[in-house]
Amino acid sequence: MTPTLLWFRQDLRLQDNPALRAALERGGPVVPVFVLDDAAEGRWAPGGASRWWLHHALAALDAGLREKGSRLILARGDTATVLRALLAETRAGAVYWNRRYEPAAIARDTRLKADFLAAGLEAKSFNAALLHEPQTIANKQGGPFQVFTPYWRHCLTLPVTPPWKPAAAALPAPARWPKSVPLDALELLPRIPWAGGLQERWTPGEAGAAKRLRAFVSAAMDTYADRRNLPGVTGTSLLSPHLHFGEIGPRQIWAAVAATARESGVFPPSKGAGVFLSEVGWREFAHHLLYHFPHTPEQPLREDFARFPWADDPRGLKLRAWQRGRTGYPIVDAGMRELWHTGWMHNRVRMIVGSFLVKHLRLPWQQGAAWFWDTLVDVDLAANTLGWQWTAGCGADAAPYFRVFAPVLQGRKFDAEGDYVRRWVPELARLPVEFLHAPWEAPGDVLAAAGVRLGETYPQPIVDHAAARAEALAAFKKLRGADVIER
């Protein structure tokens, strides 16, 4: 049997990998390959944090393959050119891969599959990334869903394929391995050493993903519904970057949750488990929307929002203050600093900082999406687009466009003891909790005792909340008449 090229992309795992399963069932040698092709990604080539993760994920995948007598062939350049050269060198008769759902990836894969089939090769793709693929889900009218609740209710009626576990202790290797570039030649790591915080926080790779899932299911899942909104505690799964890079798949998560229900006979086994699975559902919903509305990474789904009157920021001062965590609102600044240091931000805080950018500063949601794209290790085009359009009120199932997250109220509600702000905004750590989320309200002697000099050691608020709310209301009323809701 001729070899099979196994083309890895965002499926960097061996467990529950349908393309790998098909290659083994076909028989013959398997040649795993990863091609870094930034040009094919267009504007959405991996950002700095994603590239850091990718470097370490590829190293982990190669190590896992070598344990099975195989290895990962690395290449950089045009994907079609690289794969054709590998096909010729290895005399492979098939190319298998797992599907992606971004518009550029769909277009490229469609072209490649047609070319390979025309050349007489087997070219097959599989679903490794989702419980249910976007093209298989439709509402009663036969169109795409645009509201999450009926979408997820429909998905819950569908069976979930059990995850596959490879039985083979070794992968069949070719008689001669093709050339591979060194991992460092992909130039994924930053030239300036800014990634120390990421290194401290994360363990990229399939083993790290499995460890996180086990820890979450055994210790945190049952309390997830109550603790997931508290950024000062570890109440979430932290699986999002592993999911994005395919180091774990949603079927594996579903199976792990289901396994905890076997004794009770109830699925999901707890309120926390049900809420957690609904967050997996939001990820599915994001891919559903991106597939059916491929223009949304750049343009609002609700067309009238293309006319929204954004504020001027000609020198980018407000944007830079937000990016650097120097807005003068502690919960916002804590989130932006956590993002810069760790490549991740708590989901509740993502909503707060997103609302602050588009409604307090009235800067375009696309600018926030671009910053997240470069700084998040878990950034995913589908989820990033859904999140920012939800926050801005211009997408599917969006938060009401007139809702403004009040940062002081949000901080006092979800970081009541101030643990999160104290960690990420240490210059305020000595303030009493009653003033921690609004330091400008503290008396002068309290500020002095805490070593805080507003405008020097910590900035004054760059906008007044009440004035920003009024301006947001005026801007939104140009599109639709409504009142601002403060949350």
Closest CA to 209 of 163, 142, 154, 156: 163
| Residue 388 is a catalytic residue | yes
CA 189/CA 186 separation, integer angstroms: 9
| Residue 177 is a catalytic residue | no
Cα angle, residue 470 at apex, residues 466 and 474 outer, rounded to 5°: 170
List C-alpha distances in Å: 20 to 6, 165, 197, 457: 7, 10, 34, 55
Active-site residue, selected from the candidate residues 122, 282, 427, 440? 282
Nearby residues of 219 by Cβ (< 8 Å), 6 or more positions away: none
Output the six-digit token pair for 47: 């950002």
Active-site residue, selected from the candidate residues 365, 371, 373, 424? 365
Exposed, middle or buried by CB within 10 Å (0-12, 13-18, 19+), for 227? middle
Output the six-digit token pair for 399: 């938060």
Active-site residue, selected from the candidate residues 44, 133, 164, 347? 347
| Residue 279 is a catalytic residue | yes
Nearby residues of 435 by Cβ (< 8 Å), 6 or more positions away: 441, 442, 446
Output the six-digit token pair for 377: 């290790």
Closest CA to 330 of 434, 459, 421: 421
| Residue 365 is a catalytic residue | yes
| Residue 254 is a catalytic residue | no
Answer yes or no: are the C-beta atoms of 154 and 51 closer than 8 Å: no
List C-alpha distances in Å: 252 to 13, 23, 154, 202, 222: 12, 20, 20, 20, 18
Please name the helix (run of DSSP H) or strand (run of DSSP E) that holds residue 31, with its range, or none.
Answer: strand 30-36
CA 447/CA 432 separation, integer angstroms: 9
CA atoms within 13 A on the CB side of 73: 21
Q: What number of residues does the chain have?
A: 487
Active-site residue, selected from the candidate residues 202, 388, 390, 424? 388
Active-site residue, selected from the candidate residues 152, 164, 310, 440? 310
Could you write out the DSSP letters of every residue in 87-131? HHHHT--EEEEE---SHHHHHHHHHHHHHHHHTT-EEEEE--S-S
Active-site residue, selected from the candidate residues 89, 122, 133, 279? 279
Which residue numbers are catalytic? 279, 282, 310, 347, 365, 388
